[in-house]
Structure 1
Amino acid sequence: MQDPFYTKEKRKKSSSMLAADAWLDSSLYEFGQSLGRGWTRFQDIMSVFHVSGIKRFFVEILSDGFSFFAIGCVLMVALALPAFDATASGEFNKAEDYSVVFLDRFGAEIGRRGIRSDDSVALADMPDYLIKATLSTEDRRFYDHFGIDVVGTLRALMSNAQGDNSTQGGSSITQQLAKNLFLSSERTIERKIIEAFLAVWLEWHYSKDEILKLYFDRAYMGGGNFGVVAASDYYFGKKVQDISLAEAAMLSGLFKAPTRYAPHVDLAAARGRANLVLSNMVAAGFLTEGQVTAARRHPATPIDRIADANSPNYFLDWAFEQSKTLIETHNHTSNNFVVRTTIDNTLQKYAEEAVISTVREGAEQYDVEQAAMVVTDTKGAIRAMVGGMDYGKSQFNRAIVSTRQPGSAYKIFVYSEAFEQLGLTPADMITDRPVCIGDWCPQNYGRNYKGTVTLASAFAQSLNTVPVTLSIKTGRDTIAALSHRMGLQADYPVTRSLALGVASVSVLDMTSSYAVLANDGYKTPAFGITRMTTLSGELVYEADLSAPRERVLSETTVANMNSMLRGVVTGGTGRRADVPGVPVVGKSGTTSSYRDAWFCGFTGNYVAAVWFGNDDYHPTNNLTGGTLPAIAWQKFMAYAHTNIDIEPVFGVDFVPEPTVIADADPAAVEETVAERPPSLTPAAARKLVDLADLLNATLTAGGITTEARAAVPAVATEGL
């Protein structure tokens, strides 16, 4: 028999399940009914928008239009992404290179390097007819469109389809500027699309006048010129404010095809293009035919652009590299600079005359083809740089490359280290005798030995065993370290033969090293730039000439070294370098096999190093540093010390004698050379000497007395 309690519970659970099932069924039914009623109401609402017949056609078209518009917007955004990337940095394309105008120490222009670019003239200061000539040819609706000239583009497409060689293109000025500022010169559909986006971006961010000014400044005008200001100076030798209508038309014709219509390339084509520009100005209503008649009859004529052979080109090449380093160091965004240098153009001509004439005089006898010279003042300012015999034939600058061995000119480092470390003096005795380091046994130039000599005598005679002995006592590493502190830049191996100058050096670095002795022992690196500004005058760099310098050698060592260097000139291997009336000190240097010959030295006014040799490293015919290099060095110093105050040399007991100018005669021409004024080139001064000779001969033939004749040269030369 079943339990009554169990039966009651079973009935209760069954009843609950039936109730739940009924609720679920009813809920689903009600939900379905609600959806049906909602759908019915939605159909009722949408029936209001139902159209039929012809109206349905237009609605479908409109609907599809919205769909395609949405798709187009997505596509436009995708195409515009490169343009967004181009403008994200906010920076324009840099010009292909920097443009640098170089001035000498007195402020006179001596040359240019890099591109020619100038953005210093405001749009308001440019000639009105230059602006009109450009607008009439490049973009007549420039002030009306939003960056893209739709009408002009359609017209250009029609002209191209008809084969018409129009002078007007399809791209607006803004589009051309967008390409110059952000894009490359490739011709692709993708670039044209990006160019259009960038043109609109420029119109949103800049005024029309600002866009036009940027266009005038950044457009390439042929001949390495960027911008109308630089092109005006290059082609016509004028400021852009001063150009004529004919010249403005010729410049405006360059924008679309600068290499084709550059007047120095094809003058006839340039004039033909300028004539079309004048016609465009008339067609655009900017000028009348009568106003352009004179420009048609008298077309523009460019000036000759023959390179100035008098520019210190080797120095300018070096200074241009130095300038680019300074620009990058100061992170300047401009591309146009003016650089004030230390070069003295008169001394530069003296250096070129001295080097070139000496090489030519000794080329056949000594089998030498090249030479280089660097001249600085005693503070390191470069006054002259000669990098070779002929810049037109070879632009390789032999004055700055560290590929030559200095020979005995290196011995200043050995002796200086010995004085510093060992406390020696020039009067101390040392024995000149055979010395070996391992299996290497150097010999003197004459293959003999002097026995016991003073350090001063060993230095003056350029004995080889003595510096090797000193290097053993001081250590070769310390000598190399001193040479780098004094001015040598290139690293070189420290070998057994280091004391004899087996190291890689440059003429520039040797000049800096000797300048330490000329500057009382202070580090004196050579420099050629004192100031750099943009074309608008913004200061970029200025040398701090008053900054404290590192002491490299003690005053005692400097005095000892200078006295020994003086002995080289008065009684040693450098006698040919002596200049009467000037405290000259220096050291010759000759390498093994006579591949390199040097003379390095200084006065109280100037420091100079001279190198002679051959580019292919073949040996000269027994050329030593005491011959041609010393002669060239002496020639320069004789020129350079004319009509200036002669400064003393620390440690050298020398009192300059007053110079007496005697009557000029043919036998005294060489002596007269030393009296050349610094304002004249050597060639010009030589002509004056010849003129004085002719004048004396004429006066003698005319019976003029000696007393009267003596007064003529003084009167003739007064004030030179």
Structure 2
Amino acid sequence: MDKRGSRRKKAARSETARRAAADKPQGRFGSWIKRLAVWGGALALLGALFIGLAVAFAVRSMPSYYQLQATQNAQTIVVRARDGTEIVELGPSFGQWLTHDQIPQVMKDAMISVEDRRYYSHFGIDPYGLTRAVYEGVTGDDRISATSTITQQLARNVFLNNNRSLDRKAREAILALALEWKFSKEQILELYLNKVYFGGGAYGVDSASRKFFSHPATDLSVAEAAIIAGLVKAPSRYSPTADVDAAVGRASVVLRLMKEQGRIPSNVTVDPSAVRLKEEKGQNSVRYFTDWALPQLDMLLPETFEPIEVWTTLDVGMQRAATASIQGNTPGGAQGALVSLDRDGAILALVGGTDYVETSFNRATDALRQPGSSWKLFVYLAALEAGYTPGDRVVDTPVTIDGWSPRNSSGRNVGEIDLRTAFAYSINTVAAQLGNEVGFGTVASMARRFGVTTPINTYPSMVLGSNEVRLLDMTRAFAAISAEGQSVEPYGIVKVTTAEGELLYQHQNARRSQLVPDYVAAGITDLLQTAVNTGTGRAAQIGRPVAGKTGTTSSNKDGYFVGFSSGITTGVWMGRDDNARVAGLQGGTAPARAFAAYMRYAVKDRPIEEFDTDLQLPEWQLEPDDEYMLGDPDDYYFIDEQGNLIEPGREDGERRDPFGDAFPQPGDSDRPRQPQVPQQPGRGADGAPQAVGDDFLDEATGGASQGTPRPSPSPTVTVTRPQ
């Protein structure tokens, strides 16, 4: 009895200890781990079942191998000019279908090495490769590795689009598993190498070999195979017809990977730079336009693979004239670009460089360069909107703003001038003072208002064009001035139809808004016209009214001219891609001459249009009617706003032209000459400016009748603009 009681007590103590242990946090944590493991296993099993069913369904609905072989999903695009003439046909070239045995082994090895090194060991998805790609992306390793297997790429190319969505990636993975289930590795690789896109309209290795090397793919060498395999990652970037150095560099990466993976002997030397490329003929600057316009189809059209015709705004004659003007006027070693817009924003001509075959980089739409003094458009727009007028008096004098002291291109200051002259001769110190007065943030906002899309800093030097912009944006801004201050939206595609004529897209003009009041647009047009007539843009004259502005950056790295005439606005940029100095390059030289050469052709069939520069100022900017209130000013003396006594018969604001014959005449240097300083009323004994003119003093004191000589007036100038 005692023994049985003892055993019961021990059992009770053991049960109590077990329950206490279960109540401890560690016990609860272990319990949760078990539950998570059970639920995780169940979910994994359910997910595997779902994936299995999805793959099985995909296999059942997937076309046969011969159906896939016969199906080509690439699209042919015919691009037409504004008059309907065909300017280029872009589309697929498939070459000859090569069976797995006909494809050179070196081509298969090169493709597997760079795109999918574990192709023969995975089941359509490469978990190890995906994990490694993520790791290399996090650690910054610059080794080349693919994130999609060859099977996934084939599934995407044949069945899907290139949208980077989670849903598309999931379907791609399911289809890749289905392909691996239904077809052999040899069949998948054959389909891939005959369907993958290699750039330039070439689909499949045979088409690529014929396009780049002028022979069938059955004759590919190791170096040629490496070049072709390297194209898959980025066909346009590594195309040997667009950038030989980039293609050779990418091929060298492919060859290194082939050696590392044992697909070619490590002691074999292969030089891809020695490969002879097919000479490209017939390419021209139209491709700069199509490279910019055609990617917009992805946003304008629903997904379609049927042949289409794209009707554009491009004028064939103007495009030829633009190309000739850039090639004929761009300094040696430099590049040039031109954009020309009609009054509604239609792009009439677009040239992104001097030679598309040499380099396809589009400097008209993609390059970010400093516009120099052409940026002063926004400075003076802000000043005019703040109340200035072209005739207002300003002073060209040394100025320092927040430690920054701008200098004029002539190295001198001319004193008192009007706003029109300061703009025409691109006086830097005046632009700096205006920007400081209206606010550099206001200038930046004005640029944004007129369509500048690049980042804008508000340091004082920004008034001289230190911000980088796109030529297309600057041309758009000037086009808005040509449209009397209304917004302009550049566009290049008018409509898209099927080959049978069914309309798929029709351009609708964007709703226009008034960016600045009419009087501001008229005022800036006045300034821009003066800059071409008598200022730094004289080389842009074409025998009819032209308004525009030059721009030159420090050390002559960039030359700009943007202007308009007869409803056509054209912007020209010149410079070097490496941003090095170009001897003698100024906005008023080569760019202005290229503008004139093009515009003479562009406007030849258009009527001559005079600019509206008549300032209809708002009431808040008008002076009161003194004659109505106080009588005729010629009958009495009166005091002006600066406290000066004005004698009878002298008109308010009357002055002698301070420059006289100092204005440069057409054909003179692009830089303004040093003007003569205007003579002003003298100073009194205390050094203060005289309140009245010498004639009045002579009459009032009898000095003139007594023959008393008057002292020579001082050259000191004052601002006479009303405050």
Report the TM-score when normalising by structure 2.
0.53
Give the 3 Å change call, closer, same or farther, for CA 179–511 of structure 1 in structure 2: closer
How far apart are 1:100 and its partner, in Å?
3.2
Give the 3 Å change call, closer, same or farther, for CA 565–311 of structure 1 in structure 2: closer
Q: 2:84 aligns with which of 107, 123, 130?
A: 107
Report matched runs for 1:511-522 at 5 Å.
511-522=475-486
Secondary structure (helix, strand or coil) at the match of 2:460 reads coil
How far apart are 1:185 and its partner, in Å?
13
On the 8 A contact 1:313/1:391 being kept in 2, the answer is yes
How far apart are 1:446 and its partner, in Å?
0.8
Q: Deviations over 1:223-267 (max 9, x none)?
A: 9799xxx99xxxxxxxxxxxxxxxxxxxxxx9x987799999657
Query: Which position in structure 1 is the counterpart of 2:381?
Result: 416
Unaligned runs of 5+ in 2: 1-47, 98-153, 161-170, 185-193, 220-277, 616-723
Distance in 1, Cα, partners of 2:608 & 2:294: 33
On the 8 A contact 2:209/2:215 being kept in 1, the answer is yes
Q: 1:357 aligns with which of 294, 305, 328?
A: 328
Query: Which position in structure 1 is the counterpart of 2:602?
Result: 640
Query: Which position in structure 1 is the counterpart of 2:313?
Result: 342
Secondary structure (helix, strand or coil) at the match of 2:600 reads helix
The answer to whether structure 1 residue 429 and structure 2 residue 393 are counterparts is yes
How far apart are 1:540 and its partner, in Å?
3.3
Secondary structure (helix, strand or coil) at the match of 2:469 reads coil
Q: 2:443 aligns with which of 465, 469, 479?
A: 479
Q: Deviations over 1:177-206 (max 9, x none)?
A: 99944899999997364369xxxxxxxxxx
Distance in 2, Cα, partners of 1:177 & 1:527: 35
On the 8 A contact 1:605/1:646 being kept in 2, the answer is no
Query: Which position in structure 2 is the counterpart of 1:610?
Result: 572
Give the 3 Å change call, closer, same or farther, for CA 548–446 of structure 1 in structure 2: same
On the 8 A contact 1:79/1:193 being kept in 2, the answer is no
Query: Which position in structure 2 is the counterpart of 1:273?
Result: none
How far apart are 1:537 and its partner, in Å?
4.0
How far apart are 1:387 and its partner, in Å?
0.8
Report matched runs for 1:28-177 at 5 Å.
81-85=54-58, 99-113=76-90, 115=92
Query: Could you tell me which amino acid in structure 2 is paired with residue 319 of structure 1?
Result: A
Query: Which position in structure 2 is the counterpart of 1:390?
Result: 355
On the 8 A contact 1:99/1:116 being kept in 2, the answer is no
Distance in 2, Cα, partners of 1:623 & 1:263: 37
Query: Which position in structure 2 is the counterpart of 1:451?
Result: 415
Q: 2:471 aligns with which of 494, 507, 513?
A: 507
Query: Which position in structure 2 is the counterpart of 1:494?
Result: 458
Query: Could you tell me which amino acid in structure 2 is paired with residue 323 of structure 1?
Result: L
Distance in 1, Cα, partners of 2:212 & 2:560: 48
On the 8 A contact 2:325/2:598 being kept in 1, the answer is yes
How far apart are 1:310 and its partner, in Å?
4.3
Give the 3 Å change call, closer, same or farther, for CA 222–266 of structure 1 in structure 2: farther
How far apart are 1:306 and its partner, in Å?
6.3
Query: Could you tell me which amino acid in structure 2 is paired with residue 309 of structure 1?
Result: Q
Query: Which position in structure 2 is the counterpart of 1:51?
Result: none
On the 8 A contact 1:100/1:320 being kept in 2, the answer is no
Tell which deviates more after alignment, 529-538 or 602-611: 529-538
How far apart are 1:441 and its partner, in Å?
0.8
Give the 3 Å change call, closer, same or farther, for CA 374–258 of structure 1 in structure 2: closer
Secondary structure (helix, strand or coil) at the match of 1:497 reads helix
On the 8 A contact 1:341/1:531 being kept in 2, the answer is yes
How far apart are 1:465 and its partner, in Å?
0.9
Distance in 1, Cα, partners of 2:611 & 2:411: 34
How far apart are 1:356 and its partner, in Å?
0.6
Secondary structure (helix, strand or coil) at the match of 2:340 reads strand
Query: Which position in structure 1 is the counterpart of 2:628?
Result: none
How far apart are 1:375 and its partner, in Å?
0.8
How far apart are 1:605 and its partner, in Å?
2.9
Q: 1:317 aligns with which of 262, 286, 291?
A: 291
* Larger proportion of helix: 1
Report matched runs for 1:17-36 at 5 Å.
none
Give the 3 Å change call, closer, same or farther, for CA 461–223 of structure 1 in structure 2: closer
Q: Deviations over 1:415-439 (max 9, x none)?
A: 011111x221100111111111111
How far apart are 1:412 and its partner, in Å?
0.8
Give the 3 Å change call, closer, same or farther, for CA 266–606 of structure 1 in structure 2: same
Tell which deviates more after alignment, 534-543 or 304-313: 304-313
On the 8 A contact 2:452/2:474 being kept in 1, the answer is yes
Give the 3 Å change call, closer, same or farther, for CA 570–433 of structure 1 in structure 2: same
Query: Could you tell me which amino acid in structure 1 is paired with residue 398 of structure 2?
Result: P
Tell which deviates more after alignment, 99-108 or 625-634: 99-108
Report matched runs for 1:539-688 at 5 Å.
539-545=503-509, 547-580=510-543, 582-651=544-613
How far apart are 1:553 and its partner, in Å?
1.5
Give the 3 Å change call, closer, same or farther, for CA 261–632 of structure 1 in structure 2: closer
Q: Deviations over 1:51-83 (max 9, x none)?
A: xxxxxxxxxxxxxxxxxxxxxxxx999966414
Query: Could you tell me which amino acid in structure 1 is paired with residue 80 of structure 2?
Result: L
Give the 3 Å change call, closer, same or farther, for CA 184–644 of structure 1 in structure 2: same
Distance in 1, Cα, partners of 2:210 & 2:476: 49
How far apart are 1:85 and its partner, in Å?
4.8
Distance in 2, Cα, partners of 1:411 & 1:89: 62
Distance in 1, Cα, partners of 2:329 & 2:156: 56
Report the TM-score when normalising by structure 1.
0.53
Give the 3 Å change call, closer, same or farther, for CA 82–312 of structure 1 in structure 2: same
Give the 3 Å change call, closer, same or farther, for CA 544–436 of structure 1 in structure 2: same
Secondary structure (helix, strand or coil) at the match of 1:389 reads coil
Query: Which position in structure 1 is the counterpart of 2:372?
Result: 407
On the 8 A contact 2:392/2:418 being kept in 1, the answer is yes
Distance in 2, Cα, partners of 1:520 & 1:569: 18
How far apart are 1:577 and its partner, in Å?
0.7
Q: Deviations over 1:363-386 (max 9, x none)?
A: 3xxxx5111111111221111111
Secondary structure (helix, strand or coil) at the match of 1:601 reads strand
Query: Could you tell me which amino acid in structure 1 is paired with residue 182 of structure 2?
Result: I
Give the 3 Å change call, closer, same or farther, for CA 439–539 of structure 1 in structure 2: same
Report sequence identity in percent. Answer: 32
Secondary structure (helix, strand or coil) at the match of 1:392 reads coil
On the 8 A contact 2:56/2:178 being kept in 1, the answer is no
Secondary structure (helix, strand or coil) at the match of 1:477 reads helix
On the 8 A contact 2:59/2:179 being kept in 1, the answer is no
Give the 3 Å change call, closer, same or farther, for CA 95–404 of structure 1 in structure 2: farther
Query: Which position in structure 1 is the counterpart of 2:402?
Result: 438
Give the 3 Å change call, closer, same or farther, for CA 189–611 of structure 1 in structure 2: closer
How far apart are 1:487 and its partner, in Å?
1.8
Query: Which position in structure 2 is the counterpart of 1:163?
Result: none
Q: Deviations over 1:149-171 (max 9, x none)?
A: xxxxxxxxxxxxxxxxxxxxxxx
Give the 3 Å change call, closer, same or farther, for CA 97–413 of structure 1 in structure 2: farther
How many residue pairs end up in the alignment?
Answer: 432
Distance in 2, Cα, partners of 1:471 & 1:263: 54
On the 8 A contact 1:372/1:386 being kept in 2, the answer is yes
Q: Deviations over 1:540-594 (max 9, x none)?
A: 322112x4301101111111111111111111001111011x1111110011121
Unaligned runs of 5+ in 1: 1-74, 118-132, 134-175, 197-218, 232-253, 271-303, 654-720
Which of these two proteins has the greater Rg computed from alpha carbons?
1
Give the 3 Å change call, closer, same or farther, for CA 458–543 of structure 1 in structure 2: same
How far apart are 1:332 and its partner, in Å?
2.9
Query: Could you tell me which amino acid in structure 1 is paired with residue 85 of structure 2?
Result: A
Query: Could you tell me which amino acid in structure 2 is paired with residue 395 of structure 1?
Result: S
Give the 3 Å change call, closer, same or farther, for CA 261–554 of structure 1 in structure 2: closer
The answer to whether structure 1 residue 374 and structure 2 residue 339 are counterparts is yes
Distance in 2, Cα, partners of 1:376 & 1:590: 22
